[in-house]
A and B are shown apart, each in its own frame.
Chain A
Amino acid sequence: MADAIAVEGLSKRYRIGELQAAYGTLRESTSHLAKRLTGREHRPGAEEIWALEDVSFALEEGKALGVIGRNGAGKSTLLKILTRITTPTEGRAEIRGRVGSLLEVGTGFHPELTGRENIYLNGAILGMRRREIHTKLPEIAEFSGVEKFLDTPVKRYSSGMHVRLAFSVAAHFEPEIMLVDEVLSVGDAEFQARCLGRMEDIGAGGRTVVFVSHNLQAVAQLCDRVLLLEDGRAVMDGPSSEVVARYLQTVTGTSSSQTWADEATAPGDDLVRLRSVRITHTDGQTADFADVREAVGIELRFSVLREGPAVLPKIKLSSGGQIIFNAMDVDPRWNEPSRPGDYLTTAWIPGNFLNEGLVTVDAAVCSIDSPKLNHHVSVHEAASFHVQDPLEGDSSRGTFTGQWRGVVRPLLEWTVEESRP
């Protein structure tokens, strides 16, 4: 199938001045010009920022692409260029078909005009033909639920009616390509939910979708592929689970493995030094993300520098600021006084136990001095990984695809007694 969107080396440069003093008076500007001409003010060449830098991707017809990244990473700039609100500084993009965006919901609504008049106005602004609006008018009116007030000026509408009518027009626009910026979309929870619902419809209807959002769960659900932007650059483009995991790790500043090469500067005290922490799959591969159904290993490597009291490895897993559990190796071998050497330990967390989301790992080596626990080394957020459910129906959420609460998510055995009359 042909590419609906092909983007090549797209870049957008802003001058800082343009962002800060968006407009000034003629006098200010002329005095700036005078200063510049007389050389009393240097050219603001250094005050340029690239909001978008050399971004390329192609999106096949009917596919959904998520775009994630921190605020200011260039997500909105990318959408603005694709919707042609602003022009790129460099690069080019080709778009096949009519483009719509939920950014435009209610754009151009005029309070003095009636609901019906606004449907025509808004439709024309979105790019619908008059005949097309005319044909769809009954549908739009019905979907909005404000049929009775179609001949009332919109200024007398409640905000809810206003949004419903606006959304209804946008929802019936039916462009081939849908660009959605969730960050900018306004409205109450219901409206947002409608947007999401409509997005899923659109995806199902074979439409091409570009979805910009902070709601990572929504992105992962709606898009197979995700583009990660960082400081205007596309740093990753791949399957949504992998990209979302990577993004979460950059946000928390953690990764799936961490190594301290130099024993002298590695965290620890005169007895124990932590050398590395790593999250592994069952096959030993480093794991940025873990399938919720499969076991995942937390590998700790540490050096004991001298003979001393008995020490043992300990981990603490947290998610969303909540402790999931603490665990330490209670094998009798750790009861012996410690002997110098390198130790490699892996704690295996069973499949179907952790819930979805980002899990951070605190790594420690302790000695027990009841009622105290003596931490010889303790590294907060030493590593992290992302647990995700491919939604194949055999995890503990079954065929349910909605929100699943809980710190853990075990797959339990259920006993059933059935009695028939």
Chain B
Amino acid sequence: MSQARSTLEERARSARQATEDVSEQRIEVPPEVASPGTSRVTVIRPASRWPRLDVPELWHYRELLWTLVWRDVVVRYKQTFLGIAWAILVPAFTAFVYVIVFGKFANFPDGGIPYPALVIGGVLPMQYFASSLTNSSMSLAANLQLVTKVYFPRALLPLAAVIVPMVDFIVGLPVLIVLMWVYETWPGGMEVLAAPLFMGLALVTALGAGFFLSALNVRYRDVRYVIPVFLQVLPLLSGVMYAVHSIPEKWQWVLAFNPMTAVISGLRWSVLDAAPPNWWQIAVGVGVAVATFFTGLAVFRSSEPKFADTI
């Protein structure tokens, strides 16, 4: 025992020695880089009763956000044979199946644009939303080791989780472009500039729901079983495989409560020159998305102090 101790001592000394050796050749780091936190005074207090998003703090941790996004993007396709090509293959295959089943056999209405283009215009944003929702809901539980060992604003985890699928979405865009080229359905004009706004709407909705569900998932692992069921039904309610206009007028209000309806019909209008969406539907969709976002955020922030104790 004591013998072991004394060799331990020697090792400690040699480890020290090694550190000293290294420090001699230390490259001079500009002071503001060496210690960005010097002037930072951290005040630790009981969690406040009225949670809010601390934007300056999120900004302070922006590099960690990008690192987490980068990690997930890199890890996603490591050890896959086809790599990032999956981001093209998955939506292409899904769209192919939809076109055969719903377009050829079931003859779903195409709303005046080529059916394959209509479907891919729905599949891509829906796939973005589905991965965003799944990833962000699991983000806290999946990063358990981080949550229980290091401090950073926990909101970074769901936030990174909705940014990562955006990379897949962008990589999948060529499928859309090829179909647009094949069927010669080019954007009508300036409305193409609205496309990022509709993706932004999908992001805000997914993030809001992700905040809520990830916080819930910390306590109740039921969440992981509910999400797949929900995501199977959602495409049917969002107009992925049909034009939203073709639904009877008296049911349109039901679709309005689903922000993804607004996202998909909006994208088809801006990118595929389809008929303009119901603007009141877009307005309701945005309203629901914003409400989801703030509700989710409130739930997330108020349960945040307990994450490390509960996970």
Q: Which A positions have Cβ atoms within 8 angstroms of B?
A: 14, 18, 22-26, 29, 80-99, 103-104, 107-108, 110, 112-113, 117, 120-121, 124-127, 129-132, 135-136, 139, 142-143, 153, 171, 174-176, 189-190, 192-194, 196-198, 200-201, 402-403, 405
| Chain A min CB distance to B304 (Å) | 9
Closest-by-CB residue of A relative to B304 is A87
Q: Is B6 among interface residues, defined by CB-CB distance under 8 A? A: yes
Number of residues in B with C-beta < 8 Å to the partner?
Answer: 64
Q: Is B44 among interface residues, defined by CB-CB distance under 8 A? A: yes
B150's contact among A82, A90, A125, by CB below 8 Å, is which?
A125
**Residues of chain B lying within 8 A (CB to CB) of residue A14:** 309
Q: Is B63 among interface residues, defined by CB-CB distance under 8 A? A: yes
A92 touches B44 (CB 8 A): yes
A192 touches B150 (CB 8 A): no
Query: How far is A66 from B240 in the complex, measured between Cα atoms in Å?
Result: 62
28 A-B Cβ contacts within 8 A? Answer: A23-B219, A23-B220, A23-B310, A26-B220, A84-B42, A92-B44, A96-B40, A97-B35, A103-B149, A112-B75, A113-B78, A117-B71, A117-B74, A127-B64, A130-B67, A135-B29, A136-B27, A136-B29, A143-B18, A143-B19, A143-B22, A174-B34, A174-B35, A193-B9, A197-B16, A197-B19, A403-B2, A403-B6
| Chain A min CB distance to B141 (Å) | 10
B37 touches A97 (CB 8 A): yes
- Asked if A405 meets B15 with Cβ closer than 8 Å, knowing A139-B26, A143-B22, the reply is no
Closest-by-CB residue of B relative to A92 is B45
Contact with A along B13-51 (1 / 0, CB 8 A): 111101110100111010001111110111111110000
A125 touches B146 (CB 8 A): yes
**Residues of chain B lying within 8 A (CB to CB) of residue A403:** 2, 5-6, 9
| Chain B min CB distance to A217 (Å) | 9
**Residues of chain B lying within 8 A (CB to CB) of residue A193:** 8-9, 11-12, 15
Q: Is B298 among interface residues, defined by CB-CB distance under 8 A? A: no
**Residues of chain A lying within 8 A (CB to CB) of residue B7:** 189
Query: How far is A192 from B12 in the complex, measured between Cα atoms in Å?
Result: 8
Query: How far is A333 from B41 in the complex, measured between Cα atoms in Å?
Result: 70
Query: How far is A82 from B220 in the complex, measured between Cα atoms in Å?
Result: 28
B35 touches A88 (CB 8 A): no
- Asked if A104 meets B2 with Cβ closer than 8 Å, knowing A112-B75, A194-B15, A197-B13, the reply is no
Q: Is B102 among interface residues, defined by CB-CB distance under 8 A? A: no
Q: Is B145 among interface residues, defined by CB-CB distance under 8 A? A: yes
| Chain B min CB distance to A357 (Å) | 12
Q: Is B311 among interface residues, defined by CB-CB distance under 8 A? A: yes
- Asked if A107 meets B149 with Cβ closer than 8 Å, knowing A92-B44, A132-B34, A198-B16, the reply is yes
| Chain B min CB distance to A220 (Å) | 15
Query: How far is A204 from B25 in the complex, measured between Cα atoms in Å?
Result: 19
Q: Is B151 among interface residues, defined by CB-CB distance under 8 A? A: yes
Q: Is B294 among interface residues, defined by CB-CB distance under 8 A? A: no
B145 touches A29 (CB 8 A): no
B15 touches A198 (CB 8 A): yes
